Every structure is written in C-alpha cells, then in structure tokens.
C-alpha cells in the first residue's frame, strides 16, 4: 500500500469532512537555517498533497516563501502511532484556500478573522469585545476569508510510520518517493 493511503487509513476520519481536522506539528526552517515548529490543522488530503491553512502575516509564511520545504508530524497516541511526512511545499490558489475556509466551523472562520498580528497587540478584553461585535455583525454563513487567509500543500517525498505495541517492540517503516512510486525500508523503532 502506498504511504498516502496508509496515512489516510490511520486517521479516525477524513480531513475536512464533517468538521474533522487532525492536529499536526508543522516544522519549517528560517532564513538562518534555524528550525521552527507549531501546531496547525490538516485541512485536507488531495492526491499526494497535504493541505494546511494560515495567515500571510505569520512567521511560517515568511519561512515557507524563503525555504519552501516542511516536515509534518501526526501523533496518534491512542494507536501508539506516529507519522512524519517531509517534502516540498507550494502555496495554493486563492480559490482553493477560499473553498477550505468555507468548510471550516464558524469558530475557526472567526478565528481566522481575529487572529491577526494587529489584534494580538490589543488588550485581552478588547479582543474579546471585538470578537463579539464581529460575530454579531456577520451572522452564520456570511463570512468570507480575510485578506491574509492562505493555504499551502506539502507533497511528501519521505514518510515514516512508527508503530508501537502494548507489550512488544516498536517498528518503523520509511517510504521514500522514487519517481512516481515509493520504496520502503524497515528501520529500528
């Protein structure tokens, strides 16, 4: 089985469907070669690409524009499982990003509007009242993506699956893209 299918099968739902967005750790590299990591939601898996969405004002976007590669980590502790994917990243079209915005929950849509660099400078109480005013002024279903809303797609060229067990050794299988197919190697856990 190819590793993208293995990843999709390991998740308890389909990303982007019925409000399910798996949590990922997203690692990027800055202009000085130093690593960064933060949590993002996996918006969707389409073909051989993994999508996530964010704000153009964020640090990760600056880093991805300079160095368009990323590593993603999905941890599934209830299955004693870890999946790491690494590869080149591309910015998706505005149309695709808008589509992803519209399937997010209202809470996440509001968050995208209010989590801007400018609002982070405001006192907490003011941020809360702006959120309430904004939500009231834009009833459910009327929100469109904020100007900075954008998306990225990672096309993994290496995927590593770690599997533990309750009373046995763990094992790791690493898949490396080889043209249009994958080769696999068994590694120590």
Ligand X SMILES: Cc1cc2nc3c(=O)[nH]c(=O)nc-3n(C[C@H](O)[C@H](O)[C@H](O)COP(=O)(O)O)c2cc1C
Phi and psi dihedrals of 150, rounded to 5? Answer: -150, 165
Shortest separation between residue 7's beta carbon and ligand X, angstroms: 18
Q: If binding is defined by CB under 6 A, does position 58 make contact with ligand X?
A: yes
Piece of the chain touching ligand X by CB under 6 A; list 58-66, 91-99, 137-145, 149-157: 58-66
Per-residue binding letters, 15-34, with ligand X (x by CB under 6 A): --------x-----------
Determine which residue in the list 9, 34, 39, 188 makes contact with ligand X, applying CB under 6 A: 39
Q: How far apart are CA 45 and CA 5, in angstroms?
A: 10
Q: How far apart are CA 174 and CA 29, in angstroms?
A: 22
Is 58 or 119 the residue whose CB approaches ligand X more closely? 58
Query: Other CB atoms closer than 10 Å to residue 184's CB: what's the count?
Result: 14
Determine which residue in the list 36, 94, 126, 133 makes contact with ligand X, applying CB under 6 A: 36
């Amino acid at each position: 089985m190819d590793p993208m299918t293995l990843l999709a099968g390991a998740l308890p739902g389909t990303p982007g469907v019925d409000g399910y967005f798996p949590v990922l750790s997203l690692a990027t590299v800055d202009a000085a070669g130093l690593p960064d990591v933060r949590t993002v939601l996996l918006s969707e898996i389409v073909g051989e690409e993994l999508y996530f969405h964010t704000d153009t004002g964020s640090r990760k976007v600056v880093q991805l524009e300079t160095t368009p590669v990323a590593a993603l980590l999905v941890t599934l502790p209830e299955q004693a499982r870890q999946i790491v994917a690494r590869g080149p990243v591309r910015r998706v079209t505005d149309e695709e990003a808008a589509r992803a915005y519209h399937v997010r929950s209202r809470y996440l849509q509001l968050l995208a509007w209010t989590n801007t660099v400018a609002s982070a400078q405001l006192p907490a109480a003011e941020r809360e009242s702006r959120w309430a005013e904004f939500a009231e002024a834009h009833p459910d279903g009327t929100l469109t993506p904020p100007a900075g809303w954008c998306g990225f797609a990672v096309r993994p060229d290496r995927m590593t699956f770690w599997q533990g067990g309750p009373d046995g050794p763990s094992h790791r299988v690493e898949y490396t893209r080889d043209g249009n197919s994958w080769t696999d190697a068994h590694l120590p856990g």
